[in-house]
Chains A and B, each alone.
Chain A
Amino acid sequence: MNGYRYLAGIVTGSVSLLKGMRVTFANMVSRPHTVQWPRQTAPLPARFRGHIRMLADEETGFPRCFACGSCARICPSACITVQGRKPGDRKKKVAVRFLLDFTKCSLCGLCVESCPARALAFSRDYALAGYRDTEFRTMDLLEGLASPFQF
């Protein structure tokens, strides 16, 4: 009886090993799931959250932000700094500085939701790289946008 168990153990063990080998062989001949970045890129999910970015007004091209500061107030990590100024000919303030400390940001999205002007959105920028941390400690979100203040 013991001998039978011994032999049966060997046989069932071998069979289970063969099953495992079949699985890995099937894996090997099937298509790899990897995407060869940067030559290929995987499609980003529709609601991907990169760092926040400033939206521009369609008409003027100026930033939509009027520096109310609600984003800076609601931010749990206190990583947003906003300064605004009133241009002479308009009633609303316009942001002149909008700095994001991305080293602290946890991408919670409260700023995006709280913005009354709907000026903030998530970017789709995922391949961030830099040489030093200061590049991400003070990210200037107004960069590249037109400004009403010409210096």
Chain B
Amino acid sequence: MSISPVTIVCYLLGISAVVGLNAVILVWLERKVAGHMHFRYGPMEVGPHGLLQTLADGIKLLGKQFLVPDAADRPLFLLAPVVSLVPIFVAMVPLPLGETLQAWELNIGLLLVVALGLLNTLGILLAGWGSNNKYALLGGSRAVAQILAYKIPLLLCILTIIMMAGSYSLRQIALAQKDGWYILYQPLLFIIYIVTITLETNRSPFDFSEAESELVAGFHIEYSAMGFSLFFLAEYSYMFIAAALASILFLGGWQGPFLPGPVWSLLKLYGIIFLLMWFRWTFPRLRIDQMLHLGWKILLPLALVNFLVTAGVLAL
């Protein structure tokens, strides 16, 4: 209880600003990347190169009507966007984006972020069941099948890194990479991790719970206006957190020559997010059984072997 009120308010504002700005920038970036990969320009009209397009869309969404379907399970339906958004604010707390830019240095920060990342699926499940729509329900069920397939490889990746760094603290893990980023020692693990966070953030080629061409919009099919934009915000914030985690676990976090720490942090983070976008606009969506095959028969054994080999090398 020794934290001053000013600090708390500052951090709350800062985290809210990061969540909001990040979503604005990422939506714009996504549309730009998509456009250029299709030989298009993407948004160009509102602001220079369409930079303010997302703001305009956000204002438009604010002005729209929030509809609750008659047949929907009202409390679950209303709770779902909140459930998927709230954990983000907590998960942002232990993320170090710079030498001193960290809300709370927590010695189990990594565990906290991973645990809260799991709540994302819960929000999707709530939305799927609350909407009382068969597509939404299918989307929710798929999200559950998906989490079982990717979570174990993801945890194995994180476990390997914890073993190498000897700490659960995100800050300590980043500091342990002063002399060499873990991506140099663990390139395979980095690839597995990137694949699992693509799965975790529900992005194409693994966007089974959303799957426009099969489930129309999947779990958020019935959501309009603010509910929809909250889901959007949550999706992009989870991307931010997953990419931040990747940059801390594998790329040394804020550490780098010449530039100040936060700049390096953001550079690495948005580099990884660009990678995710690149995947999305390159690869077609997998079938659900192909995803299960990938998760259980390829990622899991590879991660396990990698884990055991790393343990062996570390023990020597």
Given a CB threshold of 8 Å, the question of whether A touches B is answered with yes
* A10: B residues at CB distance < 8 A: 298, 302
- Out of B33, B279, B283, B298, name the residue touching A28 (CB < 8 Å): B33
Q: What's the tally of chain A residues with a CB closer than 8 Å to chain B? A: 16
| With A20-B282, A21-B278 as contacts: A28 and B40 at CB distance below 8 Å | no
Check if B39 sits within 8 Å of A27, measured CB to CB: yes
Count of A-B contacts judged by CB separation below 8 Å? 38
- A41 interfacial contact with B, CB 8 Å: no
- A5 interfacial contact with B, CB 8 Å: no
- Out of A17, A20, A32, A36, name the residue touching B39 (CB < 8 Å): A32
A2 to chain B, nearest CB (A): 12
* A28: B residues at CB distance < 8 A: 33, 36-37
| With A20-B282, A21-B278 as contacts: A34 and B40 at CB distance below 8 Å | yes
What's the Cα separation between A20 and B283 when bound, in Å? 8
Q: What's the tally of chain B residues with a CB closer than 8 Å to chain A? A: 16
Q: Mark A27-53, 1 if CB is under 8 A from B, else 0.
A: 111111110100000000000000000
- A25 interfacial contact with B, CB 8 Å: yes
- A24 interfacial contact with B, CB 8 Å: yes
Looking at chain A's contact residues, the main secondary structure is helix
B195 to chain A, nearest CB (A): 10
| With A24-B278, A24-B281, A25-B278 as contacts: A36 and B41 at CB distance below 8 Å | yes
| With A10-B298, A21-B278, A21-B282 as contacts: A27 and B36 at CB distance below 8 Å | yes
- B60 interfacial contact with A, CB 8 Å: no
- B69 interfacial contact with A, CB 8 Å: no
* B278: A residues at CB distance < 8 A: 21, 24-25
Q: Pull 19 A–B residue pairs with CB atoms less than 8 Å apart, ordered by A.
A: A10-B298, A17-B283, A20-B283, A21-B278, A21-B282, A23-B282, A25-B37, A27-B36, A27-B38, A28-B36, A28-B37, A29-B36, A32-B35, A32-B36, A32-B40, A33-B39, A34-B41, A36-B41, A36-B44
* Residue ranges of B at the interface with A (Cβ–Cβ < 8 Å): 33, 35-41, 44, 278-279, 281-283, 298, 302
- For the complex with contacts A10-B302, A23-B282, A28-B37, 6 further pairs of A-B residues with Cβ separation under 8 Å are A21-B278, A27-B36, A27-B39, A29-B36, A30-B39, A31-B39
